[in-house]
Amino acid sequence: MSAKLDTTGPTGLSELDRPNSYIGRSVPRPNLTRLTQGRGQYVSDVVLPRMGHVAFVRSPHAHARIVSIETAAAKAAPGVIAVVTGRELAGVCTPWIGVLTHLKGLKSAPQHPIAIEKASWQGEAVAAVVAQTRAQAEDAAELVAVDYEELPVVTDMETALDPGTPVIHPELGDNLAWERLHVAGDPDAAFASADHVIEATFGFGRHTGVTLEPRAVVADYNAGDGRLTVYQATQAPHMIQNILAKHLDLPESQVRVLCKDVGGSFGIKVHVYADEVATAALSKLLRRPVKFVADRIESFVTDIHARDHRVKGRIGVMNDGTITAFEIDDLTGIGPYSMYPRTSAIEANQVVNFTGGQYTCPNYRALARVVFQNKNVTCQYRAVGHPIACSVTEGLVDLAARRIGMDPVEIRRKNVIPDDAYPCQSSAGMKFERLSHQAALEKLLDMMDLEALRADQAEARRRGIHRGIGIASFIEVTNPSAAFYGVGGARISSQDGVTVRMDAQGSIHVASSVTEQGQGAEAVTAQVVATAFGVPIERVRVVTGDTDNTPYGGGTWASRAAGIGGEAAWQAGKVLRGNVLSVAGAILQAQAENLDIRDGLVVDAETGRERMPLDEVARIAYFRPDTLPPGVQPEFVATRHYVPKRYPFAFTNGIQGSYVEVDAETGFIKLLKHWCVEDCGTILNPQLVDEQVRGGIVQGLGPALYEHCLYDEHGQLLNGNMADYLVPMAFEMPDIEVGHVSTPTGESELGAKGAGEAGTAGAAAAVMNAVNDALAPFGVVLTSIPMTPERVLRALGRV
Partner 1 sequence: MKAPAFDYLAPTSLAGALAALAEHGEAAKLIAGGQSLVPALNLRLLAPGILIDLNGIGELKGVSVQNGHLRLGAMTRHVELERSPVIRQHAPLLAEAIRHVAHPAVRTRGTIGGNLCHADPASELPACMVALGAWFTLAGPDGERRVPANAFFKGVYETDLGPDEILTAIEVPQAGTNRRHAFLELARRSGDYALVGISCTAEMDGDIMARLRPVFFAAGPHPMVADHAASVLNGRKPTAALVQAAAAALADDLSPEGDLQISAHTRIHLARVIFRRAVARLVPEAGLDGPQEVAA
Binding residues vs partner 1 (CB under 8 A): 134-135, 138-139, 142, 295-297, 463-466, 661-666, 668-670, 706, 710, 718-719, 721, 723-724, 726, 728-729, 731-732, 788-790, 793, 798-799
Distance, in Å, from the CA atom of 467 to the CA atom of 755, rounded to the nearest integer, reads 30
Specify the residue, 249 or 665, whose C-beta has the smaller distance to partner 1.
Answer: 665
698 in helix, strand or coil? helix
Q: Which ranges of 329-385 does DSSP label H, i.e. alpha helix?
A: 346-354
Specify the residue, 638 or 763, whose C-beta has the smaller distance to partner 1.
Answer: 763
- Shortest approach of partner 1 to residue 132 CB, angstroms? 13
Specify the residue, 552 or 668, whose C-beta has the smaller distance to partner 1.
Answer: 668
8-state DSSP, 93: -
Specify the residue, 376 or 481, whose C-beta has the smaller distance to partner 1.
Answer: 376
Specify the residue, 200 or 297, whose C-beta has the smaller distance to partner 1.
Answer: 297
Specify the residue, 45 or 610, whose C-beta has the smaller distance to partner 1.
Answer: 45
Asked if omega into 777 is within 30° of 0 (cis), the reply is no
Distance, in Å, from the CA atom of 395 to the CA atom of 103, rounded to the nearest integer, reads 28
- Shortest approach of partner 1 to residue 668 CB, angstroms? 5
> Please, what is the angle between helix 758-774 and helix 686-705, to 10°?
50
Specify the residue, 76 or 718, whose C-beta has the smaller distance to partner 1.
Answer: 718
- Shortest approach of partner 1 to residue 596 CB, angstroms? 53
- Shortest approach of partner 1 to residue 657 CB, angstroms? 19
Specify the residue, 29 or 215, whose C-beta has the smaller distance to partner 1.
Answer: 215
Distance, in Å, from the CA atom of 234 to the CA atom of 260, rounded to the nearest integer, reads 9
Specify the residue, 293 or 406, whose C-beta has the smaller distance to partner 1.
Answer: 293
- Shortest approach of partner 1 to residue 211 CB, angstroms? 16
758 burial via Cβ count (<10 Å: 0-12, 13-18, 19+): buried
- Shortest approach of partner 1 to residue 208 CB, angstroms? 16
Report CA torsion sign: 454, 457, 458, 459.
positive
Q: Which of 260, 248, 252, 187 is nearest to 218 (CA)?
A: 260
Specify the residue, 4 or 463, whose C-beta has the smaller distance to partner 1.
Answer: 463
Strands (E), 176-254: 176-184, 196-208, 216-222, 227-232
- Shortest approach of partner 1 to residue 715 CB, angstroms? 16
Q: Which of 711, 728, 729, 733 is nearest to 720 (CA)?
A: 711
- Shortest approach of partner 1 to residue 477 CB, angstroms? 32
User: In sequence order, which residues have a C-beta less than 8 Å from that of residue 505 and are 6 or more positions away?
Assistant: 615, 618
- Shortest approach of partner 1 to residue 32 CB, angstroms? 23
- Shortest approach of partner 1 to residue 9 CB, angstroms? 36
- Shortest approach of partner 1 to residue 771 CB, angstroms? 12
Specify the residue, 645 or 670, whose C-beta has the smaller distance to partner 1.
Answer: 670
- Shortest approach of partner 1 to residue 595 CB, angstroms? 57
Strands 610-613 and 601-604: antiparallel
Residue 714 has φ and ψ, to the nearest 5°, of -95, 5
Q: Which ranges of 303-449 does DSSP label H, i.e. alpha helix?
A: 346-354, 386-404, 408-415, 437-448
Q: Which residues pair with 218 in a beta bridge?
A: 231, 291
Asked if omega into 728 is within 30° of 0 (cis), the reply is no
Do 562 and 496 contact (CB within 8 A), yes or no? no
Q: Which residues pair with 541 in a beta bridge?
A: 509
Distance, in Å, from the CA atom of 727 to the CA atom of 687, rounded to the nearest integer, reads 24
Specify the residue, 178 or 706, whose C-beta has the smaller distance to partner 1.
Answer: 706
Distance, in Å, from the CA atom of 353 to the CA atom of 307, rounded to the nearest integer, reads 15
Return the amino acid letter for 336. P
Specify the residue, 215 or 466, whose C-beta has the smaller distance to partner 1.
Answer: 466
Specify the residue, 452 or 730, whose C-beta has the smaller distance to partner 1.
Answer: 730
Cα dist from 521 to 100, 277, 380, 524, whole Å? 29, 26, 20, 5
Strands 216-222 and 227-232: antiparallel
- Shortest approach of partner 1 to residue 260 CB, angstroms? 23
- Shortest approach of partner 1 to residue 667 CB, angstroms? 8
Cα dist from 449 to 54, 343, 412, 782, whole Å? 56, 43, 17, 26
